[in-house]
Amino acid sequence: MQRREFSLSAASVAAAATLGAAVLPTAAQAQAAAFKDGSDYLTLGKRAPVEASAGQVEVVEFFWYNCPHCNAFEPQFDAWAKKVPKDVSIRRAPVAFRPDFEPQQRLYFVLEGMGKVEELHKKVFYAIHVEKQSLNTAEQVAAWAEKQGIAKAKFVAMYNSFSVSTKVRKATQLQDAYAVDGVPALGIDGRYFTSGTQAQTLARALQVTDALIAQSRGKAK
């Protein structure tokens, strides 16, 4: 979903791109030469911040809960992420192309802070895209979280906390550092950017990501 489309309602956006299986890292290494900088992926002019430890290659998934493409991509990305080598660090970054995206950014970081991502991340997508719930305001996300068994007072306190505010600010800065122009998108090692649009399909974007992970190993941090 391209950034210019976010001025439209989610209902007007086309169905998600066709998804397929990602290749294994070993295959990605063999195919690395087939992916071209400037077409299949972009190399950043200035390295974006990374949080991964030394010796780790960080992959960031940029997403928006209301985005139908992100909803369709999430199961594939989740399956791929569970199979990456131990030297790959995965994190998610909810985007905010407009100020009204912030409640969902905060929702994700509250779930992360409470250790509830594994349990509830997919349920947010389900609530929006299957149950057609509106989760666009602080009040709406707090009410939804309460229905999931999270004490409302605890949720609201973390939602408004300094730590969540800091994570929101950093996530927005990170999307700008990667020059994210649509979601879902992937940032690799603070050096490279790809997406379904860039790589032609989301399945191919994961293949490109595998190749860029291999390419990033051993580079100076």
Pairing mode of beta strands 88-94, 192-195: unpaired
Q: What is the mean pLDDT of each run of 10 residues along the chain (221 residues)?
A: 49 38 49 83 97 95 98 97 96 97 98 98 98 98 98 98 98 97 97 96 96 87 61
pLDDT of 127-177, one tens digit each? 999 999 999 999 999 999 999 999 999 999 999 999 999 999 999 999 999
DSSP 45: S
pLDDT at residue 209, as a whole number = 97
Strands (E), 4-159: 42-43, 57-63, 88-94
Q: Reduce the DSSP state of residue 219 to 3 states and report it.
A: coil
DSSP 122-181: HHHHHHHHTS-----SHHHHHHHHHHTT--HHHHHHHHTSHHHHHHHHHHHHHHHHTT--
Query: The domain 40-46+55-216 belongs to what CATH superfamily?
Result: Glutaredoxin (3.40.30.10)
